[in-house]
Structure 1
């Protein structure tokens, strides 16, 4: 027997396709009494317990959960490490919020000890909330990314991060230069990209804080290392959209700025996209780029409502983002609670199975990692969660009334939060126990 082979028995649910494309019934697999088998950090089998148990060696360790649901680990496609200390900052919309709260908070990351402390807190919060992969903004300081990757590598997590590139329209204490951002990013890429389960993302903060020279060099990095990620913000706030038009009068719109500097592509993720037009959605889809839908921060900062049906019409890849610290919770369950409301306000429906897709396989597809994460298919990484039906008295009582897995899932996404996550596994290792 392999000492690394283990089995987990509970109700099991995972997305296998986008409900918007194949319909709800064909979009998921559900095993009411399921078994998940892992070996050497990967999933080796999934199915009905009554069928799989007989095929296992007698001495294999089987962990049996009562009143629980196993799902893939959640994937957060937009979050800021340096904003952990300013979550829930009062009273501003995007641009004033950046100047009043965000930039001063990020300035503390010049101190390596501070960066290490926050990286530890940040990763614990991700895992406590069931997030096993995140696309992470560092600060402008390279040590913010070093500290994050060092902590993530220790736990063998699949994480993506990058140093912010920002050479204008920010305080002097927080800007780099076009050249230094290129040199620093390149050093981080050489040090971390592809090490273990870590990936690097070229990270211009957003068009207004980068000069044309810096955006040119960001595009150059992507051409030099073809499997890198690129992350930035787009069309979050109407004032921001107007500012971009003033700063880049030669471009036909916000997306065209990024397109001009060769920042669109299959591993490019643009956060928010609240005020995109049809043509921009079409262009994002055509280039294989993705959007990170961040409903919690869109509500909190008064930015607006993301038009998911428009994105679906164009077959645009969409993942889910908590956007800490504009967002107010590390929990993707709570983020889905807000996503549902964002759709309701637009007269649209967000089914629980589409929600599950956004938090797992949709995020994996946005990151081009669907062969590794986002499902529980054999051969993928053993990144999974155990969700506790009795996490709170209200949740336990409410779920006793649930008559289907659809209802159960929706209640978990409406009433659930970090307390719902009983255990988090990454590469087959237990990395959080409530």
Structure 2
């Protein structure tokens, strides 16, 4: 049944394009704005002075003046099964996998444990203003069922898949090429396209899949129109060297995936640090996307993503928290670290571009910008309410800011989960801070 119109009043900010391309025209800003929502979708967004007189008498207005309303954040790479090992000390990628990741993921053979972590994970995303995520599960099909079930109950947009891994891993996490194919096929049939859920074929990374499994992963991606594919590439120099030994016929690490038909629209590769321009050109040409994971890249000492070069060569780029290599579910903290990565590269990341990447940019990288990412009429009404006075320091610093750009930069530099006053999914509150 048609639901009544809902109106939310506050400072509305969203993006129409990439600020790196469109400049100031990329951003729409209504200091006293109104967001109109009906049946889970945006009906209009604009100045309150123009839209309020158009409302029918008695239309409820949620008054959030003093707070910012932005589209829900989009996390393009995160491992729900690594929630309980976040902040694990002292290793780089390959040793970190052996010491922490594999033993933690083994626990997901227990459906009860998987269900408990999935519920916590989805709640933590919402608590941080993230309404759409692309997530890795584990090799266990039940881990996928648990995550999709939790996301569906919360009406979230979620893309996920069973990890494919048939070599160079512990026996207790190893599948076979054939079984991985069969399990993935069954999961696609069970979950892909159910409500807001989408399936991603998920080879962990090239070293943990045999050529046979890589070929079958490419086959799954081709056989099921509309599915996604997610993996990792060129995160760590030791990893890159290992791939060269395992796949000597490939020109590069990325070329391994290309040879097995795994590059294309809706394929997302985390990290993409140690690519060359031939790789970047190939990603741009095929429509594959990179997930920039700054907190993880810094925490594991992996390297610095070249955002400028990716943009210059036309690559799609989103942002990922990459929990548990990443150190926070907060997209605000992730933006702050992205800024620091660009500083270390001798470049810069504006606040406007950072928030674009966390919203419309992430949606574009997932080919979901027709549904989410901004407040154009007809888009799904997922949004986050940010409190610029969430802490004494934030309130004091924000009081001295004289532009929207400066206030956004303060939020991404000093902000964290405390700044999220509420998260709305499909036009309804999905999480609210107690004080709010």
Distance across 2 between alignment mates of 1:330 and 1:388: 17
Q: Which residue of 1 aligns with 2:375?
A: 376
- State the shift of 1:4 in Å: 3.3
TM-score of the two chains, using structure 1 as the length reference: 0.99
Distance across 1 between alignment mates of 2:4 and 2:419: 27
Residues 349-395 of structure 1 show CA distances to partners (whole Å, capped at 9, x for unaligned) of 10011101110011000000001011111100000011012111111
Q: Which residue of 2 aligns with 1:228?
A: 227
Q: Which residue of 1 aligns with 2:106?
A: 107
- State the shift of 1:155 in Å: 1.5
- State the shift of 1:156 in Å: 1.2
What secondary structure sits across from 1:360 in the alignment? Answer: helix
- State the shift of 1:3 in Å: 4.2
- State the shift of 1:27 in Å: 1.1
Question: Is the deviation greater in 328-337 or in 3-12?
Answer: 3-12
CA 185–2 in structure 1, closer or farther in 2 if over 3 Å, else same: closer
Q: Which residue of 2 aligns with 1:22?
A: 22
Residues 128-164 of structure 1 show CA distances to partners (whole Å, capped at 9, x for unaligned) of 0000000000001011110011111111111100010
Distance across 2 between alignment mates of 1:87 and 1:64: 37
On the 8 A contact 2:32/2:65 being kept in 1, the answer is: no
- State the shift of 1:119 in Å: 0.2
What secondary structure sits across from 2:30 in the alignment? Answer: strand
- State the shift of 1:19 in Å: 1.4
Q: Which residue of 2 aligns with 1:253?
A: 252
Distance across 1 between alignment mates of 2:431 and 2:415: 17
Distance across 2 between alignment mates of 1:96 and 1:293: 22
Map 1:191-340 to 2 at 5 A: 191-340=190-339
Q: Which residue of 2 aligns with 1:52?
A: 51
What secondary structure sits across from 1:103 in the alignment? Answer: helix
- State the shift of 1:315 in Å: 1.2
1:141 and 2:140 are equivalent in the alignment: yes
Q: Which residue of 1 aligns with 2:188?
A: 189
Q: Which residue of 2 aligns with 1:412?
A: 411
What secondary structure sits across from 2:371 in the alignment? Answer: coil
Q: Which residue of 2 aligns with 1:36?
A: 35
Distance across 2 between alignment mates of 1:44 and 1:50: 16
Distance across 1 between alignment mates of 2:388 and 2:249: 55
Q: Which residue of 2 aligns with 1:63?
A: 62
What secondary structure sits across from 1:167 in the alignment? Answer: coil
Q: Which residue of 2 aligns with 1:12?
A: 12
Distance across 2 between alignment mates of 1:22 and 1:429: 32
1:92 and 2:95 are equivalent in the alignment: no
- State the shift of 1:20 in Å: 1.7
CA 252–394 in structure 1, closer or farther in 2 if over 3 Å, else same: same
- State the shift of 1:66 in Å: 2.8
Distance across 2 between alignment mates of 1:274 and 1:152: 30
Task: After the TM superposition, list the runs of 4 or more consecutive aligned residues in structure 1 that deviate by more than 3 angstroms.
Answer: 1-4
Distance across 2 between alignment mates of 1:138 and 1:70: 31
TM-score of the two chains, using structure 2 as the length reference: 0.98
Distance across 2 between alignment mates of 1:130 and 1:56: 28
- State the shift of 1:429 in Å: 1.7
